[in-house]
Structure 1
Amino acid sequence: MTRERVVRGLGVLVVALIAMGALWSPAFLTGASGWGDWQWFHHMWEAGRVAYVRWGELPLWNPHHCGGVPLWGNPQAQVYSPTYLIFALPFGTNLGHKLFVLFHAVVGFASMYTFARREVSLTRIASLLAAIAWCASGFFAWHGAGGHATFLAFYYAPALLLAWRAAERDLRWCGVVAAWMVLIVLEGGHYPFPYFVLLLAFDALVRAFALPRLVPRLAAVAALSGALTGLLGAARFLPILFALRANPHPVPDPDWLSPSEILEMLTARTHDYRFAGHGWVWPEYGAYVGWAIVVLSALGLAAAFASITASRTSARSRATMLWLVLGLVLFFLFTQGSATPHHPWPLLQELPFYRSIHVPSRFRVLLIFFMALLAGVALDRIAQAIASLPVRADVRALSWAIPWTLVLAITIDLYVINVGIIDRWNEEPVGVRAPVDHHLVRGRSYLDEYANYPSENVGTIECYDPVPWPRSTRLWLGEGPQARIVPEEAGRVIAWGRTSLTVWADIELDEPALVVFNQNHADDWTSAQGQVISDDVRLAVDVQQPRGRMRVEARYFPRDLPYTVGLSLTGAIACVVLALAPWRRRRARQAGAPTV
């Protein structure tokens, strides 16, 4: 890599940091925590911090929610991700989550700009427009403001596509593709991951159709990237699969949108919180990019059609324009949802994994992705048309003045609307309450306080978890012993306590009895003092030692952890071996393709 490219890359990162820092600045102007679902993700981050920092344990179990449920198999858990470890542990949940948001936005902006330059051959100003239109759109504003932390991984789309395209030229990049896909799963990307599987499949099919010579290479990239992703991500894929198979949660969603409603989503500057005729609230539909981007993307669509049919268009350019056109059409149809039985969405929900995802309007993130790139195509065509006019040189200067003016106006418009949406960081700071003896609380406002339960060392029987874990209806609330002897006359509890992964009680028994702990039972709890059983879904240890004082302890350790982690380590070694492979690098024939 030349020094010039390094400098350009750093310049792009600086611009991305400034642009996205300005967009997400409301989060940093206050010490408050986030609104809406942020409290749920704050809660899980705090549960992880407590496990790591207070107890020195892996966050495999969450004793602070639903009466105690697994974290290991939770598809939304982010506590095993390297980005969590980087931002949560040193900075705390409050600031760490804000830095987590900014990191994703910067990666999204920089990689979108780079993708537009390298893969779509846009000019710098058009690439800048594409990056701003996508990263500052209403999709990210609404979902980022509302706390859909796992949706932040959608910002990785252009970076993933860059790695995927690079793998066509050099198979070593398949390891990078796998790393991106596994990072998405580690960040709880239960929506981004299946969406990106569709995006990569679409990319491969269109490029195979437009450039038949790439078919063998694309097949190799898909096979190798898929195998490495499955192996590297085994420590998340398999526990999640086991959890969802044991606790299925299919969510059929017949929602559908008309073209006029999608246009409303893209252009409405304000809207009621409800969306008439639909079961979800407006944040699930809001996608403001403004009329200027809508018009430019339509012009870009026309320009792309013209390029596809032009006889002098190169095969690579024709493939790129075809990709843009079909991408816009496909993800528009996905965003429409169940408009007809033959739309992509109802067909997709026939597939096993995709039955667990819902709200088809979330596909608007990829619709806006293609709209932003097509808007960049239109901007370049406008500049070229002005430059080709037979006018004086000073008038021809409009070929750069008009595009820059348009980009500035669009940026101001996007920021005026979407920064106002983002400005919702107004809840109590998390992670600052002093810990007390663990118990299940009563008489509190659940949604206002549960983000602080892990740091306070308390729990709740209430649930906000998307997985329908088995839960006991016989747990007891309030302070006091968190273990009981059944039958009561068989002995007494002297002391008790817990960490994130263990529960214990010092007891004195006169006869065999059950020691019942005040939390839910799960299969992977074990005890050296007796058999662990379910007492009406409560965790219980069947102690057969007839008399005397003893400590009964139970510990949670997923039985799949050793081999799933072993498979992931094997995948990591395979990626390293692939990266160090000595075979000759295959370079793409990209004559005239711009750099960053």
Structure 2
Amino acid sequence: MTPPSRRLLRTAHRLATLPGPRLALFGVLALIACWHPLTRAGALNDFRDSHLLHSYEDAGTRTLTRYGQLPLWNPWSCGGQYALGSPQTRVASPTLLVSAALGARRAEPVVLWAFLVLGMEGFFRYARRRAGSALGALAAAPLFGLTGFTALSWAIGWLNFAGFLLLPWLLLGTQWAARGKVSGAVLVAGIFAFLLGFGGTYPVPMGALFVALEAGRTLYGMRGTSRWRTALWGLGTTALFTLAACAYRLWPLVETMRSSPRVMAGTPGQSIQTLARMMLELPAPSGHSNPGNFFLVAVALALVPVAVVLSRRSRYPVVVAALCVWMAAGYAAKPSLFAGLRTLPIYGTFRYPERFLVPAGLFIAELAAVAIAVLLVRAKRSPSPRWKWGAALACALVVAGWGVQVHAFTRLTHWATLLVEPPPTPPESEQPFAQARGNRWAQGYFLAINRGSIACGEAWPVPMSDRLRGDLPQEEYLEEASSGTARRVEWTPNRVEVDVAAARPTVLLVNQNWHPGWKASVGEVVSRDGLLGVQLPAGEHRVVLRFLPRSGIGGAVVSALAWVGLGFVAWRARARGGRQTQDARGAAPSGGEKADARAATGPGVRSGQLGPEALMVASVPLFVWAALLTAWHEPVARAVPRNPDGSPIQVASLPPNARRLDVRFDVPVELVAAEVPGAPDADGFVHLTLYWRVTGPVPRSAGVFVHLPGPEGSQRKNADHAVLGGTFFFHEAPRDTLLRDAFAVSTKDWEAGEWKELVGLWHASGDGSRISAQGSDGKPLQESRVEAGAFTVPPKPKP
């Protein structure tokens, strides 16, 4: 390598290692990529998901800035819901302070920019250690940090998915924790706590998966050395501190999901060709389509073979990237790794396997960093000019790839449906809070007029009362109007004050959902068919209702103890390190003594402070958590399971017009009866109903197949589903009760004539085989299915 090129390489390496110039580069790249969102900051994103998810941030911001309260209860959504217990809210994150300072809508692109910078810097720090080159890590950092899915997430209102960019920080913290560093425990615990508060329904469980893999990778690299035991202490302590640090959000989430589980069914999958288009095809300038959703510039993939051939450092990222792609294929891959993952707790809520392309992009970018590192080393050491040209070409292509990556990111941000004509945001209206019928896909307009929406668009069954009203003259009233009067004194999201004059014992009703976290200064808080109520004695009372949930308050106490414990461990480590330094200065040992001292202390003591003592400290918050769970009891707010048409799933008896079938399957499931109308309704829908009974444990893979063959020459239709009424898998369904499974099919383009409904069970998420069945006479059913009924599609009217 010539002297000028060596000087240039040294200068580039020096700049890469300096945080100031490096962050300035990342900041400029992020600024260019975010220019479109930043110039339209404050505009309303009219995409339906954005309306729903942004309303949560808006509610949290209003609660903090207008009422001076923490965003524990959200009265503006679904008739009132527990904000900390809703998985997709990000009001428990420090980014809420940015929203409070700038406004919820103006803060979004600023937060997006910050995440991009954090993502690039985190990747640099992670890849620098794994690739062994600051320049290689710097070159590959924008390829991951500007991943296309982050832009898409912002465009459709899923800003919480920007949490994927913190994955390198988690892996870096895991490495530090395995070396016994307190900073590793702080980093892992802090990132997971932040992601949970930011609504990381996918980044958190996926991050936990890759942290576990990174821990295994690190332990494998330490096998046979004294550092292995230090790593076990460090990783175990980090796991306990992380669990406790997340309690403030984890406890409410677990409580909510246990009472109202989020059910995800189906067998989603994508072919390898589709996945390749998602990653490598340049996104369209506007609109929504799969190609380019996870864009990663092709130069990263082009460098993968270089890394594989020239470096052993490529083994792990190659394997994990391949596993990510396999996972991303979902059920289209045979066998399906994603199907196996969904059998684990929490991961059963995953709906979109293609999101594993984000971590796949991380490890592909790591391979690109390894390739550049190897080429630079070969160019420096080898006299052959081909290595110099190869390294120069690789660096030039990667730098050019930055531009392509930024261009693709910008295109994806243009997919946002932003209202730029005046007014870009709904006009504010100062009026007392009240519930309205609402619109789940237009909630962005309701908070501006201080109205709650009782039309709920959540992906989990929020416990909602059937007695919620959107037309009440006042929101607080007495159950029996003749028993007295009720007058609102003050209203805030977490506190409602009402003056009641009752001639006899009565119940004060508040037009919001009941939750066990509501406490009253007078009387007893009760649930009136899911509606918030207070049972009061006769007389005049000033009733003060406060929302003080056990999981929110108790979880905050546990998390605070975790951070106090981490602070104590860090203080002890620093004090111990200071004493060791003083001893070293006083003793001045010989060379051999120095070597013996290093061997005795090792990285677990000098650079690592996470040992048995730290593990004991980390256990204290968890013992407190267990004590709170034991001593502090609360009832549970459960959602009433309903079909999509609003009918209850559990029924006491069959309706008179149901046709008895009495089909028994080789699993403990009975198809008791069915309802099939004779013809579609006026809108062309056929409303079908099946009545099931589960009497024992059923495999997780069991689902319903519904085949609808029509007149000769027509194509058979299907209405298969693995979840009864959108609520229960068979293996989770209530036992020994009648389950009403109602669903509908549209016959808009169906041929006229008679159509039959053939029903059976199959292993929907397994091998696809059918489950044998016997009819009411005990004989096996042909093709393991029964005819539940038939209906006739009339001829279409001539235009």
* TMscore range, shorter length: 0.7 to 0.9
Match of 1:119 among 130, 135, 152: 130
Q: Against the structure 1 CA distance between its residues 384 and 8, is the aligned structure 2 distance closer, same or farther, given a 3 Å change threshold?
A: closer
Please tell me whether residue 421 in structure 1 is matched to residue 412 in structure 2: yes
CA shift, 1:354, in A, is 1.5
SS at match of 1:515: strand
Match of 2:153 among 143, 146, 151: 143
Question: What corresponds to 1:552 in structure 2?
Answer: 543
Greater strand fraction, Structure 1 or Structure 2: 2
Q: Against the structure 1 CA distance between its residues 337 and 298, is the aligned structure 2 distance closer, same or farther, given a 3 Å change threshold?
A: farther
Question: What corresponds to 2:182 in structure 1?
Answer: 172
| One-letter amino acid matched to 1:294 | L
Match of 2:358 among 353, 365, 370: 365
Pairwise mapping of residues 220-239 of structure 1 onto structure 2 (< 5 A)? Answer: 220-239=233-252
Please tell me whether residue 262 in structure 1 is matched to residue 254 in structure 2: no
SS at match of 1:578: helix
Question: What corresponds to 1:313 in structure 2?
Answer: none
CA shift, 1:149, in A, is 1.9
CA shift, 1:272, in A, is 12
Larger RCO, structure (CA 8 Å, separation 6 or more) = 1
| One-letter amino acid matched to 2:114 | F
The answer to whether the Cα contact below 8 Å between 2:15 and 2:21 also exists between their aligned partners in 1 is no
The answer to whether the Cα contact below 8 Å between 1:47 and 1:455 also exists between their aligned partners in 2 is no
| One-letter amino acid matched to 1:153 | G
Match of 2:201 among 190, 204, 228: 190
Q: Against the structure 1 CA distance between its residues 134 and 35, is the aligned structure 2 distance closer, same or farther, given a 3 Å change threshold?
A: farther
Please tell me whether residue 354 in structure 1 is matched to residue 347 in structure 2: yes
CA shift, 1:373, in A, is 1.4
Q: Distance in 2 between matches of 1:239 and 1:215?
A: 36
Q: Distance in 2 between matches of 1:351 and 1:299?
A: 36
Deviations 1:516-562 (A, max 9, x none): 211111122122332222222111222221x5x54333222102344
| One-letter amino acid matched to 1:224 | T
Please tell me whether residue 508 in structure 1 is matched to residue 501 in structure 2: yes
The answer to whether the Cα contact below 8 Å between 2:496 and 2:544 also exists between their aligned partners in 1 is yes
CA shift, 1:586, in A, is 4.9
Between 475-484 and 91-100, the greater mean CA deviation after superposition? 475-484
Deviations 1:353-398 (A, max 9, x none): 2222221111111001011111233344555666778677xx9864
Deviations 1:65-94 (A, max 9, x none): 101111122222322222322x12211112
Please tell me whether residue 456 in structure 1 is matched to residue 468 in structure 2: no
In the superposition, the TM-score normalised over structure 2's length comes to 0.65
Please tell me whether residue 68 in structure 1 is matched to residue 80 in structure 2: yes
The answer to whether the Cα contact below 8 Å between 2:495 and 2:546 also exists between their aligned partners in 1 is yes
Please tell me whether residue 286 in structure 1 is matched to residue 293 in structure 2: yes
Greater helix fraction, Structure 1 or Structure 2: 1
Between 400-409 and 101-110, the greater mean CA deviation after superposition? 400-409
The answer to whether the Cα contact below 8 Å between 2:378 and 2:387 also exists between their aligned partners in 1 is no
Deviations 1:235-291 (A, max 9, x none): 1111211111111113134212222222121122246999xxxxxx84698211243
Deviations 1:312-340 (A, max 9, x none): xxxxxxxx332212221221222122245
| One-letter amino acid matched to 1:515 | L
Please tell me whether residue 537 in structure 1 is matched to residue 530 in structure 2: yes
Question: What corresponds to 1:311 in structure 2?
Answer: none
Question: What corresponds to 2:262 in structure 1?
Answer: 249
The answer to whether the Cα contact below 8 Å between 2:174 and 2:215 also exists between their aligned partners in 1 is no
Pairwise mapping of residues 46-445 of structure 1 onto structure 2 (< 5 A)? Answer: 46-85=58-97, 87-124=98-135, 126-173=136-183, 174-212=185-223, 213=225, 214-270=227-283, 282=289, 286-300=293-307, 302-303=308-309, 306-308=310-312, 320-340=313-333, 342-382=335-375, 398-399=389-390, 401-423=392-414, 424=416, 426-427=418-419, 429=424, 433-442=428-437
Please tell me whether residue 474 in structure 1 is matched to residue 474 in structure 2: no
The answer to whether the Cα contact below 8 Å between 2:144 and 2:365 also exists between their aligned partners in 1 is yes
| One-letter amino acid matched to 2:407 | V
| One-letter amino acid matched to 1:289 | L
Q: Distance in 1 between matches of 2:428 and 2:298?
A: 47
CA shift, 1:572, in A, is 0.6
Q: Against the structure 1 CA distance between its residues 494 and 577, is the aligned structure 2 distance closer, same or farther, given a 3 Å change threshold?
A: closer
Between 530-539 and 193-202, the greater mean CA deviation after superposition? 530-539
Structure 2: 5+ residue stretches without partners: 1-13, 578-600, 605-799
Between 578-587 and 65-74, the greater mean CA deviation after superposition? 578-587
Q: Against the structure 1 CA distance between its residues 97 and 273, is the aligned structure 2 distance closer, same or farther, given a 3 Å change threshold?
A: closer
**Alignment RMSD, CA only?**
2.9
Question: Aligned residues, how many?
Answer: 557
Deviations 1:453-487 (A, max 9, x none): 33432111011333322112222214631122222
Q: Distance in 1 between matches of 2:291 and 2:567?
A: 40
Q: Against the structure 1 CA distance between its residues 550 and 210, is the aligned structure 2 distance closer, same or farther, given a 3 Å change threshold?
A: closer
Q: Against the structure 1 CA distance between its residues 336 and 83, is the aligned structure 2 distance closer, same or farther, given a 3 Å change threshold?
A: same
In the superposition, the TM-score normalised over structure 1's length comes to 0.86
The answer to whether the Cα contact below 8 Å between 2:491 and 2:497 also exists between their aligned partners in 1 is yes
SS at match of 2:294: coil
The answer to whether the Cα contact below 8 Å between 1:441 and 1:459 also exists between their aligned partners in 2 is yes
The answer to whether the Cα contact below 8 Å between 2:163 and 2:200 also exists between their aligned partners in 1 is yes
SS at match of 2:44: coil
Q: Distance in 1 between matches of 2:499 and 2:110?
A: 43
Deviations 1:126-167 (A, max 9, x none): 323321211222222212322212211111111222222122
Question: What corresponds to 2:765 in structure 1?
Answer: none
| One-letter amino acid matched to 2:428 | R
| One-letter amino acid matched to 2:93 | S
Q: Against the structure 1 CA distance between its residues 258 and 572, is the aligned structure 2 distance closer, same or farther, given a 3 Å change threshold?
A: same
Deviations 1:91-126 (A, max 9, x none): 1112222211111111111121222222211351x3
| One-letter amino acid matched to 2:218 | R
Match of 1:38 among 41, 50, 59: 50
SS at match of 1:511: coil
CA shift, 1:231, in A, is 1.5
The answer to whether the Cα contact below 8 Å between 1:253 and 1:359 also exists between their aligned partners in 2 is no
| One-letter amino acid matched to 1:421 | L
SS at match of 2:572: coil
Q: Distance in 1 between matches of 2:562 and 2:236?
A: 14
Question: What corresponds to 1:593 in structure 2?
Answer: none
The answer to whether the Cα contact below 8 Å between 1:474 and 1:536 also exists between their aligned partners in 2 is yes
Larger Rg, first or second structure (1 or 2): 2
| One-letter amino acid matched to 2:418 | N
SS at match of 1:580: helix
Q: Distance in 2 between matches of 1:75 and 1:464?
A: 13
SS at match of 2:453: coil
Q: Distance in 2 between matches of 1:446 and 1:459?
A: 11
Q: Distance in 2 between matches of 1:292 and 1:241?
A: 42
Q: Distance in 1 between matches of 2:311 and 2:61?
A: 54
Q: Distance in 1 between matches of 2:153 and 2:123?
A: 19
